[in-house]
């Protein structure tokens, strides 16, 4: 398969497309395919003006897994997750250094269109933020902008079904999305994110504004979605990270005593079971055992 790079819209060198990473031939051969990371983060630092918020993060995100980012408030979790679809550049004064490779391609390279990046890498925020439009139009909106030519009714139904919301809303698709409950609105936002068929879904504390029952529904939904998508989730809730994620990244704030400057670092990253049961770093151990945070 020698498709054009999915990120660079102008003519350019051939880059592997997401679908090309594990080819059909690999999948059918006896040797297990070599799994390529969906994201490779290399020495990533982010500053807001003169303040460094995140320093020297290096990690690989595996495809079709749930990767949790945990750590105390202010350690840079939201800053890190926003780097995966160039959302930080919407913040005036934000500066990103280092590399974020998406299927091997640097999403910060010249010529890469952030709008195209965000089509591949969707985002769901802490507070459900449906558009003040009908349920139907919330789903159809992004597809229309992208010039979707297929059957819109079918796309709306499929997206709502995949977000486990269809049965609750099928009789009121033309009603305002703002009349849904918080948990329903969040599932609608997930449906809206998947309607444009992304490859990765970023979620920054997607359940922190929801009650326990709505939270369980979102967690169940994430398990369903990881069959098709790579998911990166920021969560404050360590039980949630332990329950839902395959891999966990623990960030922590370093402090320069002389200047009181503070910045986030990646302390430890690995399989969630190991991070929670036998962390290698004392700071991880103290955090996951609830000794601070
Ligand atoms: N828009 C912004 N402008 C300036 N500084 C910011 C901005 N967003 C975050 N920061 C700073 O960057 C650092 C990391 O913030 P960030 O929001 O990434 O932390 P967090 O781990 O997500 O915290 P929380 O758990 O409270 O959401 C903090 O010192 C914060 O003040
Ligand atoms: Mg945050």
Q: If you ran DSSP here, which 8-state letter would residue 5 be given?
A: P
Note residues around ion ligand 2 (Cβ under 5 angstroms): 78
Pocket test for ligand 1, best of 52, 69, 70, 79 (most atoms within 8 A of CB): 79
Among the bound ligands, name the one nearest to the CA of residue 92: 1
Q: For residue 48, give both structure tokens.
A: 């807001």
Residue 137: DSSP 8-state = H
The sign one gets for the Cα dihedral 91, 93, 99, 104 is: positive
Tokens of 147: 């010039």
Local confidence pLDDT in tens for the 293 residues of the chain: 334 455 654 443 343 444 444 444 444 556 667 789 999 999 999 999 999 999 999 999 999 999 999 999 999 999 999 999 999 989 999 999 999 999 999 999 999 999 999 999 999 999 999 999 999 999 999 889 888 899 999 999 999 999 999 999 999 999 999 999 999 999 999 999 999 999 999 999 999 888 888 899 899 999 999 999 999 999 999 999 999 999 999 999 999 999 999 999 999 999 999 999 999 999 999 999 987 65
Question: Would you say 56 and 102 are in contact if contact means Cβ atoms under 8 Å apart?
Answer: no
DSSP-assigned letter for residue 33 = P
Q: How far apart are CA 120 and CA 18, in angstroms?
A: 9
d(Cα 234, Cα 5) in Å, to the nearest integer?
28
Residue 47 backbone phi and psi in degrees, to 5: -120, 150
Please calculate the CA angle 53-55-61 and round it to the nearest 5 degrees: 105
pTM reported for the whole predicted model: 0.88
Alpha helices (H) in 234-281, listed in sequence order: 238-244, 272-277
- Cα of 123 vs centre of ligand 2, distance in Å, is 14
Q: What are the sequence ranges of the domains in the chain?
A: 18-27+34-288
Nearest ligand (C-alpha, residue 77) = 1
HSE of 266, CA atoms in CB hemisphere, 13 A: 22
For the stretch 271-280, contacts whose Cβ atoms lie closer than 8 Å and that sit 24 or more positions apart, written own/partner, are: 271/246, 271/247, 272/68, 272/241, 272/242, 272/245, 272/246, 272/247, 272/248, 275/248, 275/250, 276/238, 276/241, 276/242, 276/248, 279/250
Residues with CB under 6 A from ligand 1: 48, 53, 71, 73-79, 91, 236
* Pairwise CA distance, residues 277 & 274, whole Å: 5
Beta bridge partners of 106: 101
Cα(209) to centroid(ligand 2), Å: 13
pLDDT value at residue 7: 66
Query: Do residues 67 and 231 touch, judged by C-beta distance below 8 A?
Result: yes
Ligand with minimal distance to 262 CA: 1
Residues 88, 84: Cα–Cα separation, whole Å: 9
Closest to 136 (Cα-Cα) out of 161, 169, 185: 169
Question: Which CATH number is correct for 18-27+34-288, 2.60.200.20, 3.40.50.300, 3.40.190.120, 3.40.50.880?
Answer: 3.40.50.300
Q: What is the pairing mode between strands 94-102 and 39-48?
A: antiparallel
């Amino acid at each position: 398969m020698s498709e054009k790079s999915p990120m660079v819209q102008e003519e350019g060198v051939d880059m592997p497309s997401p679908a090309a990473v594990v080819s059909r031939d690999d999948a059918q051969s006896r040797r297990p395919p070599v799994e390529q990371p969906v994201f490779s983060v290399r020495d990533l630092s982010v500053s807001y003006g003169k303040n460094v918020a995140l320093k020297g993060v290096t990690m690989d995100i595996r495809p079709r897994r749930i990767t949790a980012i945990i750590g105390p408030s202010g350690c840079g979790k939201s800053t890190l997750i926003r780097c995966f679809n160039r959302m930080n550049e919407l913040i005036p004064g934000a500066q990103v250094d280092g590399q974020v490779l998406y299927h091997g391609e640097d999403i910060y390279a010249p010529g890469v269109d952030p709008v195209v990046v965000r089509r591949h890498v969707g985002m769901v925020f802490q507070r459900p933020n449906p558009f003040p439009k009908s349920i139907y139009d919330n789903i159809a909106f992004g597809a229309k902008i992208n010039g979707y030519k297929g059957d819109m009714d079918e796309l709306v139904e499929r997206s709502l079904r995949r977000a486990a919301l269809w049965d609750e809303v099928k009789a009121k698709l033309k009603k305002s999305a703002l009349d849904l409950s918080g948990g329903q609105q969040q599932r609608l936002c997930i449906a809206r994110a998947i309607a444009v068929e992304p490859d990765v879904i970023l979620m920054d504390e997607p359940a922190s504004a929801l009650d326990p029952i709505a939270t369980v529904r979102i967690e169940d939904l994430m398990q369903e979605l990881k069959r098709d998508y790579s998911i990166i989730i920021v969560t404050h809730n360590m039980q949630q990270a332990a329950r839902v994620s395959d891999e966990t990244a623990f960030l922590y704030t370093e402090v320069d005593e002389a200047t009181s400057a503070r910045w986030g670092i990646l302390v430890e990253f690995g399989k969630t079971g190991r991070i929670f049961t036998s962390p290698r770093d004392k700071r991880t151990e103290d955090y996951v055992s609830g000794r601070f945070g």
